[in-house]
Chains A and B, each alone.
Chain A
């Protein structure tokens, strides 16, 4: 995985709460057996609406999505993270993420930055008033910044220490765990014999 330190890119205001993973990518788009190409299904139902934010040219190159609370609820599909990444998003900013979505993001290298609800509101207002303007997300200092001068927005975001470290270092979880293989083997030796097996 590529290390993630800081990212500056066009912010996209998605004024919606409860954006579930069926909205991010409907089930009919999940049939690919690769990790790429899912951008065609991203927000598929909403893409038909010419007023949908991603259909506006100013936001087309967006890489920082700013969404309402309870982003990524529902299905565990990691395809939702891949679809966002395949489209070009590096960061999602929200005031609350669903657990599985947050976990999937961390594994796949998409930064899920949790901020206060007021920060989301201010970012929305700013990005709508200045379409195409950028947001900077600094993982080292855990800050999100947008705008300049008196209206500048600067606030901190939450992310757990471990995920932050892994993203900063670009580390692969499986590699880390395989480093502890002896402990796993010891644990297996002590498992009760009545635990079920499939083979």
Chain B
């Protein structure tokens, strides 16, 4: 019997397996950031252990960093201590770090791919659940806890039970204006937040093949939002083209050897998945969330659902709680919902392609009165690229705030937070209660919906916009 992509990559990394025990898996790349690593380094120090492979480890600062005044010391003393602790640990243990102010600094899941460190067939881990993003390149990539971070630092391996595999096949093509984000939000609403639990998921089918690498990253990024262990996509020519020439990509004979191997990383025709989901891309439309978990979403053209419309009593209770928290009435058309803040950014939608798309829609428009638009590039490289293309000019002309790189309002560990009761349309990945600030209310949206919403002040798609005043 053939193997699935996930099985091939997994098997290539098994260092040791024994009956009744989890596999010992070799880790090709370990990414670190300031929030989930301090206790792991402490553990090493206490046990007198070293980092086994600093040369397979990379750290950056992203969760706490300010997106303004990044050349000054971090104002919040607790955030500053966490960032300084990472700097101390990186220096002490010999780990490469891209700190605030460095041109390679940014959200850890934007930095890996843009350096070319994220490659097909790798195992990649990070103390961050959205590590699944890197699966877009055909890697097995998943988030781990701090005890596991310590384990990888000390041993460059992880103990992991072999997951089951699932195929998510998206047939057909996405209609114009419908993005990877809408695709994955539709999928999560279909499966619920626990639907992928215990699986490594392979996204496949025409719509997935047609996505850009950025779009594929958006889909894989949100795998964790429906409970999957990891999401991955078989590498193809698009993947190779994206990697070629990046700073850490293989070169010369190494490149040829790598590509030859990468081409074998596809699911065999006779391989069997443990589960399968099939959806039709042609039926998808802009999709937005109304509730407090990423599975509570509807098409933008629909209305806030009534809790009683759910079959399951748990879902009814969850919907009732969500509507109370979100301050919404069942039956309200989603398009009537007023938004105070629009956030474009995060490891889901903070790459250059996302900013280009936002700028294209905002061109010639103004952000609505009473609404603020925050545009936060995923990395310094993305910021510089956007500025080279003049995108920042489009944003500031429209009245948006153009910021420095980091996680920012995705989780509000830095000063970019919603005030209690404030409502956002956000291109990030989580609408949990308080995620963007205590009492804040989050609607997850795609980049085009975010941009159009900023212009109209209510949840909107670009189709709702009046033609822009184009300059002569």
Contact = CB atoms under 8 A, between A and B. Distances in A.
Nearest to A81: B145
A99 interface: yes
Contacts of B145: 76-78, 81, 100, 103-104, 107-108
Interface size class of A (residues with CB under 8 A): 35 or more
A154 interface: no
Given A183-B16, A196-B116, A196-B250, A30 B198 contact: no
Interface size class of B (residues with CB under 8 A): 35 or more
Contacts of A177: 24, 151, 154-155, 157, 159
B82 A173 contact: no
A133 to B, nearest CB: 24
A100 B433 contact: no
B147 A173 contact: yes
Interface string A175-194: 01110110110011001111
A188 B430 CA distance: 38
Contact of B39 (A23, A31, A35, A188): A35
A96 interface: yes
B159 A173 contact: yes
Contacts of A45: 433-434, 438-439
A128 to B, nearest CB: 15
A160 interface: yes
B457 to A, nearest CB: 27
A180 B194 contact: no
Interface in A67-82: 68-70, 73-79, 81
Contacts of B155: 174, 177-178, 181, 184
B267 interface: no
Contacts of B150: 174
B193 interface: yes
A152 interface: no
B85 interface: yes
B194 A196 contact: no
Interface stretch (B121-129, B377-385, B397-405): B121-129
Pick the most buried of B116, B146, B293: most chain A CB atoms within 10 A of its CB.
B146
A20 interface: yes
Contacts of B21: 162
Contact of B254 (A100, A161, A176, A194): A194
A8 interface: no
A187 B55 contact: no
B172 interface: no
Contacts of B161: 160, 162
Contacts of A78: 36, 39, 127, 145-147
Given A27-B412, A104-B147, A194 B258 contact: yes
A174 B154 contact: yes
Interface in B180-201: 193-194, 197-198
A55 interface: no
A131 B413 CA distance: 36
B147 A199 contact: no
A26 B438 contact: yes
A182 to B, nearest CB: 10
Contacts of B38: 33-34
A113 B400 CA distance: 48
B70 to A, nearest CB: 18
B333 interface: no
Contacts of B43: 174
Contacts of A181: 155
B110 interface: no
A28 B413 contact: yes
Contacts of B227: 70, 73, 98-99
B229 interface: yes
A76 B197 contact: no
A197 interface: yes
A143 interface: no
Contacts of B91: none
Contacts of A161: 20
B147 A108 contact: yes
B29 A196 contact: yes
Interface in B427-469: 430, 432-435, 438-439
Given A34-B39, A35-B39, A162 B20 contact: yes
B318 A76 contact: no
Nearest to B30: A198
A96 B287 CA distance: 27
Interface string A87-122: 000000000101110011001100000000000000
Contacts of B430: 20, 22, 74-75
B257 A73 contact: no
A123 B250 CA distance: 57
Nearest to B149: A78
Contacts of A6: none
Interface string B8-25: 000000011000111010
Nearest to B76: A31
B197 A99 contact: yes
B205 to A, nearest CB: 25
Given A27-B411, A199-B54, A174 B47 contact: yes
A31 B26 contact: no
Interface string A110-148: 000000000000000000000000000000000000000
A44 B435 CA distance: 12
Interface of B: 15-16, 20-22, 24, 26, 28-29, 35-36, 38-39, 42-43, 47, 49, 54-58, 63-64, 76, 78-79, 81-82, 85, 94, 96, 116-117, 119, 122, 127-129, 143-148, 150-151, 154-157, 159, 161, 193-194, 197-198, 224, 227, 229, 248-250, 254-255, 257-258, 261, 293, 314, 317-318, 321, 411-413, 430, 432-435, 438-439
Given A33-B81, A173-B159, A194-B250, 9 more contacts: A31-B82, A33-B38, A77-B145, A78-B127, A107-B147, A192-B258, A195-B119, A198-B54, A198-B55
16 contacts: A15-B317, A18-B318, A23-B434, A27-B412, A28-B413, A44-B434, A70-B227, A76-B127, A78-B145, A98-B194, A173-B159, A177-B157, A183-B24, A193-B254, A198-B56, A199-B94
